[in-house]
Structure 1
Amino acid sequence: MIFHQALRRELSYTTGGVFLVLVTIMVTTLVIRILGFAANGAVNPEDAVVLIALATLGYLAVLLTVSLFVATLIVLVRWYKDSEMIVWFASGLSITNLIRPVLQFATPLIIIIALLALFIWPWANRESTLISQRFQQRDDVSMVSAGQFKESAKAERVFFIEELDIDKGEVKNIFVADSKNGKLSVAVSSTGYIQNSEGGEKSIVLKKGRRYEGEPTQPDFRILEFEEYSTKIRSKETLAPAPRDREKTIHELMNEPNPAFINPSRAELLWRIGLPLMALGLVLIAIPLAYVNPRLGNYTAMLYAVLIYLIYSNLLNLTQNFVSQGKISVFVGIWPIHVLAFLIAFALIRNRINPSLKWWRRQLPSVFSSK
């Protein structure tokens, strides 16, 4: 049908445009945020692009949900404003005939939203955490470069090595500055070597050098000469912490062995399942919400849309918190919000079918409302 094809075509173009705008805003925000982390030493600047891409992938489900809702509103509002809906209704069609073509367009996107929320979201979060932890737990020798000052992972030590031979484990002209408990210690030596110990520990051993402790102007300042001085540059390997709820797979959430984490895992599962259901509910609400009087031509519906989305998403997050705290069961919390959204969509559609009747009579079957 011509109307159906035109509707799906406009929905495709508008959804794509809204999605690109939202992605641009998201990427811009992430660039500022992650570059700030890189400047503070929390993440590796070389990993910034990867972290931005992973964060964007993680939020694609939310962006698609908003894009689908806003695009449906924009297209239908324009159709009302340009009197195209009058042609639709004059052809013997009603607002209920819009549901099928809109859902035909929205269903593939809702499936994509479900896949993104169930699988891509935890994977992207887990990869981002691993990259950040790998940088924070890195050993100091991995940062040492010949002829450059390098700061340790915890900002407690500064290295300078003029010459470095990693294969032979030899270093020359070493400068090491330590700052612990408010005391400064500087060690210098012309030669040294890298020492590997049992358990994965690694140290730099300075040979025949000097060590300066304290401030030169203070009475406790000391100059010590040593034959060998060892400074640890890597402790035993640190195991990666257990994944957070947002990083767990569906299988891990459903088979959580620790009783203390069962409710948070179920709450995370509720949010992931609720996202595609929210997308469906918002699309159904957008169909009657888009009504605009062609003579007025205002966009009040967009204001209502923002309020509805904020209320819907906040209620979903609130329910997730209640389930996480054990106040309600996941089986109780998963359906009321979405059922309420579907009922609101049904009431609004019935309201638009016959606006001449009082609102409460529009919700009755036609047999009763005609009397």
Structure 2
Amino acid sequence: MKIFKRALSMELMTSASAIFLIILGIVVAQRAGNIVRQVSKGILPNDAIGTILTFSLIKLMPMILSLAIFLSVLLTLTRWHRDSEMVIWFSAGLSLKQWLWPILRLVTPVILIITLLSLYVMPWATDKAEAYREQLKKRDELASISPGTFKESSNGERIYFVESFDKLGYEVKNIFAQTRQDNKTGIITANRGSRYQAENGDHFLVLHHGQRYETQPNVLEISTTEFERYEIRIETKESAPEPITTQAKSTYDLLTDPSQADHAEFQWRLAIPISATILVLMAIPLSFVNPRAGRSLNIMSALLIFIVYNNILSIFQAWLSQGKINPWIGLWPVHGCFVLLTVYLYYRRQHLQPLVPQLFNRFFRKP
């Protein structure tokens, strides 16, 4: 039995690490693509990609770890079934239930990490991400410009285009700016420029060796001016601080004078490690391989169960935040249903027959 446990430990750790890296790579690619798309549209500055991506990964880390340990247990035991190693286990007089403690001992540290991330680290990352986005909103017009894209000012009176910045963002090259003022449209171009801060705190963009073209509606004449130095005042953004969201509150704040939304958020944070534990236990009977079925059937079933479980939890969380469910009930009915499903799977694998038909025959068969 010690040989089985040692082999299980090594293979489970190896598969969990590989699956975690694969899922992490998929999530990074998906989130990075979404953030880059926002940068290309001018919604976010290009220097914010790394920070926002890091906070997003920290927020998703509990779910990534939950899915990783669930699939690792499932795939490891599935291979043991397929290679007839489980037959040796059962031939030694050991049952399927005796896999519980070895697997639980292996995944308990991961469950504790998921609990820590869900209760403390995830709200901290959400709070920092929201604070960082607020900071981006208050940045001036030039700081929010991405090289190679057109950017409109907040008041709609200016449009900027900059080909490139230096590393510190103070020197710009090949600038295009369009301004609207006093019913006049001005177009300014310059080969290079720089920014500086005046004594009163105002920021200016200084253009060197450029041209300015000015037009008026219904007037065919175009005024052209060449300049050695031209200053444009950069507008700063003022925005009122937004209230902290429920997702960004600490767990301690959720428990002190909680609202319906606070109850829902706290139970969602608890649901992540609880669901991870239930899914790991469910993976043991779910790993049984039917030789007539395809090899990918177990993986498809596991992904479907994971998606359905989390979606139902999200629905109950929304109902709880809306006051449609009592906080004492909360998300526990969802956990209870999947616990019953796990018990049913254990019974079915232990007796090699479905539970429902057996009960039907017992209570409804003719005398």
Q: Residue 323 of structure 1 aligns with which residue? A: 320
Q: Residue 349 of structure 1 aligns with which residue? A: 346
- Identify the match of residue 339 of structure 1 among 336, 339, 346: 336
1: distance between equivalents of 2:132 and 2:177?
27
Q: Is the 8 A contact 2:138 2:237 kept in 1?
A: no
Q: Deviations over 1:246-270 (max 9, x none)?
A: 222112322367xxxx222222212
Q: Residue 218 of structure 2 aligns with which residue? A: 218
- Identify the match of residue 301 of structure 2 among 297, 304, 307: 304
By how many angstroms is 1:343 displaced?
1.9
Q: Deviations over 1:87-118 (max 9, x none)?
A: 00111100010001111111111111111112
Range with greater deviation from structure 2 (44-53 or 57-66): 44-53
Range with greater deviation from structure 2 (6-15 or 353-362): 353-362
Q: Unpaired segments of 5 or more residues in structure 2?
A: 163-174, 190-195, 226-230, 360-367
1: distance between equivalents of 2:354 and 2:312?
32
In the alignment, residue 351 of structure 1 is paired with which amino acid? R
Q: Deviations over 1:270-303 (max 9, x none)?
A: 2111011110111111111111145767443223
Q: Residue 53 of structure 1 aligns with which residue? A: 54
- Per the alignment, do residues 42 and 150 of structure 1 end up closer, same or farther by CA in structure 2, a change over 3 Å counting? closer
Q: Unpaired segments of 5 or more residues in structure 1?
A: 162-173, 363-371
Q: Residue 116 of structure 1 aligns with which residue? A: 117
2: distance between equivalents of 1:324 and 1:251?
18
Correspondences of 1:44-123 after superposition (within 5 Å)? 44-123=45-124
Q: Is the 8 A contact 2:138 2:236 kept in 1?
A: no
Q: Residue 363 of structure 2 aligns with which residue? A: none
In the alignment, residue 350 of structure 1 is paired with which amino acid? Y
- Per the alignment, do residues 120 and 194 of structure 1 end up closer, same or farther by CA in structure 2, a change over 3 Å counting? closer
2: distance between equivalents of 1:306 and 1:143?
40
- Per the alignment, do residues 334 and 182 of structure 1 end up closer, same or farther by CA in structure 2, a change over 3 Å counting? farther
Q: Residue 239 of structure 2 aligns with which residue? A: 238
- Per the alignment, do residues 137 and 353 of structure 1 end up closer, same or farther by CA in structure 2, a change over 3 Å counting? same
Q: Residue 250 of structure 2 aligns with which residue? A: 249
Q: Deviations over 1:211-260 (max 9, x none)?
A: 98754x6149898x9xxxx9864457534312222222112322367xxx
Are 1:41 and 2:59 counterparts?
Answer: no
- Per the alignment, do residues 296 and 122 of structure 1 end up closer, same or farther by CA in structure 2, a change over 3 Å counting? closer
The alignment's TM-score, normalised by the length of structure 2, stands at: 0.76
Q: Is the 8 A contact 2:115 2:272 kept in 1?
A: yes
In the alignment, residue 347 of structure 2 is paired with which amino acid? R
Range with greater deviation from structure 2 (232-241 or 344-353): 232-241
By how many angstroms is 1:54 displaced?
1.8
SS at match of 1:331: coil
By how many angstroms is 1:141 displaced?
6.3
1: distance between equivalents of 2:149 and 2:305?
54
By how many angstroms is 1:36 displaced?
1.1
- Per the alignment, do residues 179 and 15 of structure 1 end up closer, same or farther by CA in structure 2, a change over 3 Å counting? farther
SS at match of 2:328: helix
2: distance between equivalents of 1:127 and 1:239?
17
1: distance between equivalents of 2:102 and 2:29?
34
1: distance between equivalents of 2:160 and 2:133?
22
Range with greater deviation from structure 2 (70-79 or 333-342): 333-342
Q: Residue 367 of structure 1 aligns with which residue? A: none
SS at match of 1:178: strand
- Per the alignment, do residues 221 and 138 of structure 1 end up closer, same or farther by CA in structure 2, a change over 3 Å counting? farther
1: distance between equivalents of 2:142 and 2:348?
70
2: distance between equivalents of 1:112 and 1:334?
21
In the alignment, residue 256 of structure 2 is paired with which amino acid? N
The alignment's TM-score, normalised by the length of structure 1, stands at: 0.76
By how many angstroms is 1:121 displaced?
1.6
Q: Residue 30 of structure 2 aligns with which residue? A: 29
- Per the alignment, do residues 22 and 156 of structure 1 end up closer, same or farther by CA in structure 2, a change over 3 Å counting? farther
Q: Deviations over 1:298-348 (max 9, x none)?
A: 443223212211211111001011011111122212311112212221222
- Per the alignment, do residues 50 and 203 of structure 1 end up closer, same or farther by CA in structure 2, a change over 3 Å counting? closer
- Per the alignment, do residues 286 and 233 of structure 1 end up closer, same or farther by CA in structure 2, a change over 3 Å counting? same
Q: Is the 8 A contact 2:42 2:149 kept in 1?
A: no
In the alignment, residue 318 of structure 2 is paired with which amino acid? N
In the alignment, residue 19 of structure 2 is paired with which amino acid? V
In the alignment, residue 139 of structure 2 is paired with which amino acid? R
2: distance between equivalents of 1:254 and 1:49?
33
Q: Residue 131 of structure 2 aligns with which residue? A: 130
1: distance between equivalents of 2:47 and 2:40?
11
In the alignment, residue 331 of structure 1 is paired with which amino acid? W
- Per the alignment, do residues 175 and 25 of structure 1 end up closer, same or farther by CA in structure 2, a change over 3 Å counting? closer
Q: Deviations over 1:127-180 (max 9, x none)?
A: 222333322321236579xxx99956536424799xxxxxxxxxxxx9964348
Task: Give aligned-pair identity as a percent.
Answer: 29
